Structure 1
Amino acid sequence: MSTTPPVLAAELAQAWADIQRHHPELPDLAEPESLIGESSSACGHELSFERLLHEAVHGIAAARGIRDTSRAGRYHNRRFLAIAEEMGLDHPDEPHPSSGFSLVTLNAEAKRRYRPTIERLQRALKAHSAATAGDTARSFRGPAARHGSSGGGVRVKAVCDCGRNVRVVPSVLAQAPIVCGGCGKPFRIPEAVAAVAS
């Protein structure tokens, strides 16, 4: 079990804050570490600024109460697309049959706006990759990475104080609280599980 390098977590938090400056309704990123270590996601992107901006689209959708995906979060609909366009992401003309409009890319204006942020984050990601490259033979990467799936990463148990639990990808829970229908309190990942997941 390895811990998240604080430099990379700090750079992710700073990049998120940079996005918030342009989009103030974007909620805070609760756990930058939840994005690290997931080699794939339902969004189909490896960790990068483009993926971070993609996740921010989901954050704004959650803040607005908009359902931007279906099929267990895999299919990104036109409501996702509308917010993605607001945030400087381009998209293919036609949706992908299984993931919809998930494969968005930075447009030229967004690349200019976020150039310093992108460069800082790329340096941190490169350093993180170099530091963890020798550890791959002994690291458990989870079923999604082992089987090449882009089905959302490894799910962990999130619990509620009333005793109910759900299985969730940590990055999904980091986007916005998932509230228990029984007692109205948010689900949380126990600290011991969160440490193993990071």
Structure 2
Amino acid sequence: MGNVSSPLVKAIEQTWSAIQRRHGDVPEVVVTLASGTSPRGMKLGHFAADRWVRGEAAIHELFIGGEGLARGGVGTLGTLVHEAAHAAAAARGIQDTSRQGRYHNKRFKEIAESFGLALEHDPSIGWSTTTVPDATAARYAAEIRRLDAAITAHRRAEIIGGGGRAKTNNGKAAVCSCGRKIRASLAVLDAGPILCGICGDEFEAEAA
């Protein structure tokens, strides 16, 4: 059996370059592959600004979850274009998400649609559910073929949970920009933005 990861990373990088040629403000990235399984569900990918350093210059990170590769070239293209929309938002100084990057707002929707994606709204994560229309798939036909040829394996999904840890009803602390704190259940925080009556900003769940 030949090398699995090198052709895959190369195909992802070539696809990212193709997206950059069509959208000039999409920046350079370092591609990483790992597990997308988490307690919150499956992560197909993420864009994270300034996570790598080359000399004195910062480079952004593009993460691709290995489980999502099971969707093939079209699905992987959708993830790459989705993350490229986040990258363009960062380059333009646009805040396109909230709730620690989980909730995708209408500004993200506008950018992602301009990049050729179709978006559906989810109450918990906003305008994040992504599909690739036929016209966009045709535009990236060469890249999809390259991805399909390179995806010779994908990561098995894991089941997280059990472990005997008791659930708690104490909720989670959230803070706004003026420093006020509230405590609410994750279900309440995920249901939609909670705005501060003083500063008008959204309460963000504090990191664990």
Do the structures match in fold with TM over 0.5? yes
The CA deviation at 1:147 is 1.8
Q: Is the 8 A contact 2:4 2:153 kept in 1?
A: no
Aligned CA distance change for structure 1 residues 50 and 35 (closer, same or farther; 3 Å): farther
Q: CA offset at residue 119 of structure 1? A: 1.5
Contact 2:26 2:91 in 1 (8 A): yes
CA distance in 2: counterparts of 1:70 and 1:147, whole angstroms:
25
RMSD (CA atoms): 2.6
Segments of structure 1 that go 5 or more residues without pairing to the other structure are 149-198
Q: Which has the larger radius of gyration?
A: 2
Counterpart selection for 2:159 from 146, 155, 161:
146
Select 2:98's aligned residue among 70, 79, 84.
70
Unaligned runs of 5+ in 2: 47-64, 70-75, 162-208
Query: How far 1:35 moved relative to its partner?
Result: 4.0
Q: Distance in 1 between matches of 2:94 and 2:141?
A: 29
**1:9 and 2:9 equivalent?**
yes
Aligned positions of 1:16-165 closer than 5 A = 16-29=16-29, 31-32=30-31, 34-39=32-37, 40-41=42-43, 46-47=68-69, 48-92=76-120, 95-125=121-151, 127-129=152-154, 145-147=158-160
The answer to whether the 8 Å contact 1:76/1:100 transfers is yes
SS in 2 for 1:102: strand
The TM-score with structure 1 as length reference comes to 0.58
Greater RCO, 1 or 2 (C-alpha within 8 Å, sep 6+): 1
Separation of aligned partners in 1, 2:150 and 2:128: 25
Deviations 1:10-53 (Å, cap 9, x if unpaired)?
A: 11111100111111110012x21x24443531779824111111
Rate the CA distance shift 1:15–1:36 in 2: closer, same or farther, 3 A. Answer: farther
Q: TM-score, normalised by structure 2?
A: 0.55
Alignment: residue pair count:
129
Paired residues of 2:36 and 2:44 also in contact (CA < 8 A): no
More helix by share: 1
1:43–1:74 contact (8 Å) kept in structure 2: no
Where in structure 1 do 4 or more consecutive aligned residues deviate above 4 Å? Answer: 42-45
How much identity, in percent, do the aligned residues show?
Answer: 38
Helix, strand or coil for the counterpart of 2:13? helix
CA deviation map 1:81-101 (0-9, x unaligned): 000111001123xx2110101
